Chain A
Amino acid sequence: MSLSLDFDRVTVDEVSRHFGRRRAVSRVSFVAPRGSIIGLLGPNGAGKSTLLAMLATLLRPSGGSIRYGTLQAADAPPELRGRIGVLGHDLFLYPELTARENLAFFAGLYGRHDADDAARAALMRAGLADRGDDLVSSFSRGMRQRVALERALIHDPRLALLDEPFTGLDESSTRALVTRLQGLRESGAAIVLATHDLDVADGLLDEAIFLREGRMVDSLSRPEGLRAAYRRAMTGPSRS
């Protein structure tokens, strides 16, 4: 039996996650259709990273379900992970390897037979073609962030999960990343990003999900004026 791993939406349905008695995420629901950017917004400890880890299949929900198209996360084969790209808060890069070696390693791991070519193209996109043979340990935080983003996207994922992707980036790198994310959205990928950078997220998101203490307190489609909406969501009563 062949199983289609392509999906046109990711559905998060009443998802909760507990660590012992601590509730990290509680009954969160949203849909991330292809060609959209969903923002998870909230203070530290709001459950954004836990939610991303569950979407990445690294954590199992304690309750509720996550579906990739019609496929339940619990039934997903390992190949599903090949459709998901993750940029974590930690960058998932080996500092003892060069940028090129890091990218080629992960391209190979994701089954790309043209790993060297993929690494070369990723270095071009990161604007680091001339630094490709330097060790990642010699890079600034912003340069590492750019390599890490290309590592996460090196296999053209259907779903990109980005945890604080703007951290450490200067203004021009931030603009380049916004352009990259818009291009990714136009190519049909669903993007879920967690960020504190409301100014950058303003106008970029198709939907903003506001989280507080693990609960979804509000959501806005095509949000404008994110900072005011964020303030209202974080100080107002909880929706659920």
Chain B
Amino acid sequence: MIRVAWLILRKDLTVEVRSKEIVYTTLFFAVSCVLVFAFALVREGRGPEDGAAGILWIAVMFAGNLALGRTFERERQSETLRALLLAPASRPAVYVGKLLGILVLLFGAELLLVPLVALLFQARLLSHPFWLTAIMTTGTVGFAAVGTLFAAMLVRARSRDVLLPVLLYPITVPVIIAGVRGTATLLQPELDAGIIRFWFALLVTFDVVFVTLALWTFEAVMTD
């Protein structure tokens, strides 16, 4: 499984390095989103309390939705997803490979988004780098785990661009709430270790549940 997942990840990254299509569109969209909120909400250099956490996660969600759609659109154009499913590997390995590719793209976007939001909203996002990394990583994994499954399922649906967010956002609401509340906890002057551990544990639980369910169902949903 690891070998196949690695091959698919390496192939996705090679294609993306050549085309830069998803990186450019995702970053442009995410940065525009943050800028619009900054123009609307920041007054005299300060944004609303905890607002930075929500805006950061909105940008990640929107960028993630865009990246998921484009990644699988690419596999649809030459029906290469079928070729991946024909390989003599367990189909969950294909899922893991695609998930890792999405995660690399989203983590890359977050490397730009976090300092941008911290700067524009004068938020203390970077004051606890360990916990910020932990919350962002677990939240992104949970979001992408469900998103990768749905994007693969919808790859042949005519209204896939509309259906993906309609299905994805309601299901990932628990992840987004935990991500936003966890990130907002980091913005407080005094870090409450108990609360941040609670949100982190919740995100880890969501990740385990979502990834397990996706691995379990991927073979069945992709066969017919």
- A interface vs B, CB < 8 Å? 56-60, 78-84, 86, 88, 90-97, 101, 105-106, 108-111, 135, 151
In the bound complex, how far is the Cα of B75 from the Cα of A96, in angstroms? 11
Complex-state Cα separation, A92 to B85, whole angstroms = 11
Chain A nearest CB from B28 CB (Å) reads 20
Q: Contacts A81-B87, A97-B15 hold; do A109 and B82 have CB atoms under 8 A apart?
A: no
Q: CA of A9 to CA of B33 in the docked complex: distance in angstroms?
A: 59
Give complex CA distance A60, B88 in Å: 17
Q: Is the CB of B80 within 8 A of A60?
A: no
Interface string of B4-25 (1 = CB under 8 A from A): 1001100100110011000000
- For the complex formed, measure the closest distance between the CB of B47 and the CB atoms of chain A, giving whole angstroms: 40
The answer to whether B86 touches A81, judged by C-beta atoms less than 8 angstroms apart, is: yes
Most buried by A among B11, B88, B224: B88
Kindly identify, within residues 169 to 224 of chain B, every residue whose CB is under 8 Å from any CB belonging to chain A: 223-224
**Minimum CB distance partner of A82 in chain B:** B88
Nearest B-chain residue to A113, judged by Cβ: B3
For residue A101, which residues in chain B have a CB less than 8 angstroms away from its CB?
11, 14
B79 and A90 form a contact (CB under 8 A): yes
Question: Which residue of the partner chain B has the closest CB to A106?
Answer: B83
- Are B79's CB and A79's CB within 8 A? no
Q: Cβ of A78 and Cβ of B80 under 8 Å apart?
A: no
Bound CA–CA A222/B141 (angstroms): 57
Contacts of A59 on B, CB cut-off 8 Å? 223-224
With a CB–CB cut-off of 8 A, which chain B residues contact A95? Answer: 77-78
A106: B residues at CB distance < 8 A: 83, 87
Interface residues of B (CB under 8 A from A): 3-4, 7-8, 11, 14-15, 18-19, 77-80, 82-91, 223-224
Asked if residues A60 and B223 are in contact (CB atoms below 8 Å), the reply is yes
CA A59 to CA B223, docked complex, whole Å: 6
Query: In the bound complex, what is the Cα–Cα distance between A79 and B78 (angstroms)?
Result: 24
Residue in B77, B79, B86 whose Cβ sees the most chain A Cβ within 10 Å: B86
| A91 surroundings in chain B (CB, below 8 A) | 78-79
Residue of A nearest to B93 (CB): A78
A111 and B80 contacting across the interface, CB-CB below 8 Å: no
A162–chain B nearest beta-carbon distance, Å:
13
Contacts of B88 in A (CB 8 A): 78-83, 110-111
Residues of B within 8 A of A135 (CB): 18
In angstroms, Cα B18 to Cα A13, docked, is 46
A109 touching B87, Cβ below 8 Å: yes
A84 CA / B87 CA spacing, docked (Å) = 9
Add 16 more A-B contacts to A56-B86, A60-B224, A109-B7 (CB < 8 A).
A57-B86, A60-B223, A78-B89, A81-B86, A81-B87, A86-B83, A90-B78, A90-B82, A91-B79, A92-B78, A94-B11, A94-B78, A108-B3, A109-B84, A109-B87, A135-B18
With A59-B224, A82-B88, A108-B7 as given contacts, are A92 and B14 in contact (CB-CB < 8 Å)?
Answer: no
Question: Which residues of B lie under 8 Å from residue A79 when comparing CB positions?
Answer: 88
* A94 and B7 contacting across the interface, CB-CB below 8 Å: no
- The CA of A94 and the CA of B77, in the complex, are separated in Å by 9
Do A97 and B86 touch across chains, with their CB atoms under 8 A apart? Answer: no
Q: Please indicate the chain A residues that have their CB under 8 angstroms from the CB of B19 in the complex.
A: 96
Task: Judge whether A92 and B80 touch: CB under 8 Å.
Answer: yes
**Nearest B residue (CB) for A5:** B88
A93 near B18 with CB under 8 A, answer no
Give 20 pairs: A residue, B residue, CB < 8 Å, sorted on A: A57-B86, A60-B224, A78-B91, A80-B88, A81-B86, A82-B87, A86-B83, A88-B82, A90-B82, A93-B78, A94-B80, A96-B14, A96-B15, A96-B18, A97-B18, A101-B11, A105-B11, A106-B83, A109-B7, A135-B18
